[in-house]
Amino acid sequence: MSDLKISNLYKSFPGMDRPAVNNVSLDIKTGGLIAFLGPSGCGKTTILKMITGLFQPDSGDISLDNESLLPIATEKRGVVMVFQNYLLFPYMNVSENVGFALKMKGIDKDEINKKVKDMLELVKLPDIGDRKPKQLSGGQQQRVALARALISKPNLLLLDEPLSNLDAHLRDEMRELIVTIQQKLNVTTVFVTHDQEEAVLLADKIALIFDGELQSYASPIEYYESPINERAAKFFGGVNFLKSSINKSNFETEIGPIIYNQKNKKGLSKNHLLTIRPENIEISKTNIFKENNFSGIVTSIVFSGTNTRYKIQIKDTILECSVQSVGKKEISKNDKVFIHLPQEKIWAMNNE
């Protein structure tokens, strides 16, 4: 078991006008693949460094399997971190880099060689043990750093921006490798990223962090379908907002009354926001919809291969709609169209 518990973690640095990490608390279950997601400078890597022991928190606690890590020396925590720039030893070859931690523990040379061989096979680099880091591509260096981290069988693996230095093709390969290895070893893994697509594709759950504060901790699908607030919704991109107020069973918006069946209506303030993603809006040249249908004018069309994005002006409001390109070619700019906002695809949140 390697449950990680972060409790009221607080860290500040001199010269900052706000805490780097402000009372962050969350629980990470054994075997989880978790993303710390947020813009640069929001405190993600600072949390990782406190977990490893490179930074000490001003207050709060970090525990692994109900044992506080704070009194434990960095090298004895059972936590390893792969840094963004890999930090391979340039004067050692790949095998020496990967086996370094075992050598420091006094492990028998033959056993080290066997484990190094196994690790290099695990990261799909079985034949490069004699090369120096400068002879490797960025993707290969990343894999070597991962092998070096995993050879000690850590309880917790931390990855700082693991894909940021790789091109698109290598990112896809490395993403698949990380998931495969994490599932095979069942090692609890936390990675830092500023890329929401990367977080969605990799993580079981995402801790969204802004300005040192934890905004939300949820699954990728929850962020898309039921974001906690406007800022979280905007960070994941491509969402329409409508100002709304409650009026009996309907909700009055800037484009007209809307019916929707969200279960959290009781928690809403009188004035709030409705959200719907562009891909959930239906569009037609004729009025074929029974409820939540509105007419508007197409002001923009962007073709992106499999999908086409439309901007539709309804009164003084612009809504974006994204549909599969096939079958909608009859819609042109300046056309009058009808759109449908399905009840089950609408989500409401209070104004911030």
CATH number at residue 277: 2.40.50.140
Q: Do both 252 and 292 map to the same domain?
A: yes
- Flag the least confident range among 72-81, 129-138, 215-224, 319-328: 319-328
Supply 347's token pair.
């989500």
The average pLDDT across 100-124 equals 91
Residues 153 and 94 in one domain: yes
Closest CA to 217 of 21, 14, 36: 36
**Which range has the worst mean pLDDT, 78-82, 209-213, 229-233, 307-311?**
229-233
State how far the Cα of 31 lies from the Cα of 18, in Å rounded to an integer. Answer: 33
Question: What CATH number is associated with residue 211?
Answer: 3.40.50.300
Asked if residue 77 and residue 215 are part of one domain, the reply reads yes
In a domain, 230, yes or no: no
Q: Is 217 part of a structural domain of the chain?
A: yes
DSSP one-letter string for 82-137: E-TT----TTS-HHHHHHHHHHHTT--HHHHHHHHHHHHHHTT-TT-TT--GGGS-
43 three-state secondary structure: coil
pLDDT of the residue at 85: 79
User: For residue 138, which amino acid is it?
Assistant: G
Which tokens go with 244? 């709304």
Whether residues 173 and 213 fall in one domain: yes
Question: Last residue of some domain: 171, 200, 225?
Answer: 225
Domain of 208 in residue numbering reads as: 4-225
Cα 293 from Cα 132, distance rounded (Å): 64
**Are 260 and 200 found together in one domain?**
no
**Helix (H), strand (E) at residue 175:** helix 168-185
Cβ pair 310, 298 in contact under 8 A: yes
What does residue 272 show for φ and ψ, rounded to 5 degrees? -150, -170
Structure tokens at 226: 């039921």
Instruction: Please check whether residues 161 and 35 belong to one and the same domain.
Output: yes
Q: What's the mean pLDDT in 207-230?
A: 91
pLDDT on residue 326: 66
170 and 63 in a common domain: yes
**71 belongs to a structural domain:** yes
Q: Which of 247, 245, 294 is nearest to 274 (CA)?
A: 245
- The position carrying tokens 């009372």 is 23
Burial class of residue 270 in the structure, from the number of CB atoms within 10 Å of its CB (0-12 exposed, 13-18 middle, 19+ buried): exposed
Residue 58 shares a structural domain with residue 84 = yes
pLDDT of residue 249: 67
* pTM reported for the whole predicted model: 0.86
Whether residues 100 and 138 share a domain: the answer is yes
Averaged pLDDT for residues 233-250: 83
Question: Does 343 fall in a domain?
Answer: yes
Band (pLDDT 50/70/90 cuts) for residue 328 is: low
Q: Is residue 231 part of a domain?
A: no
Residue 11 has pLDDT above 80, yes or no: yes
Tell me the backbone φ, ψ of residue 246, rounded to 5 degrees: -80, 135
Boundary residue ending a domain (193, 225, 257): 225
CA-based nearest residue to 43, from 55, 33, 53, 34? 55
- State the number of CA atoms in the 13 A half-sphere of 192 facing the CB: 21
**Residue 124: strand pairing partners:** none
Domain membership flag for residue 300: yes
Does the pLDDT value for residue 303 go beyond 80?
A: yes
String of DSSP letters for 209-221: EETTEEEEEE-HH
Domain C-terminal end among 225, 250, 272:
225
Q: What's the one-letter identity of residue 230? A: E
327, pLDDT greater than 70 = no
pLDDT > 70: percent of the chain? 96
69 in the same domain as 168: yes
Q: How much is the pLDDT for 295? A: 95
Give the pLDDT band of residue 263 (cuts 50, 70, 90): low
Q: Looking at the predicted structure, is the pLDDT value of residue 329 above 70? A: no
Straight-line distance from the first to the last Cα atom of the chain, in angstroms, rounded to the nearest whole number: 39
Question: Looking at the predicted structure, is the pLDDT value of residue 268 above 80?
Answer: no
The answer to whether residue 232 is domain-embedded is no
What integer pLDDT is reported at residue 21 of this predicted model? 97
- The verdict on 190 and 146 lying in the same domain is yes
Query: Residue 8 is inside which H or E element, if any?
Result: strand 4-11
Both 57 and 170 in a single domain? yes
Residue 10 in domain: yes
> Which pLDDT belongs to residue 250?
74
Number of domains composing the chain:
2
pLDDT band at 278 (very low <50, low <70, confident <90, very high): very high
pLDDT tens digit sequence for 26-65: 999 999 999 999 999 999 999 999 999 999 999 999 999 9
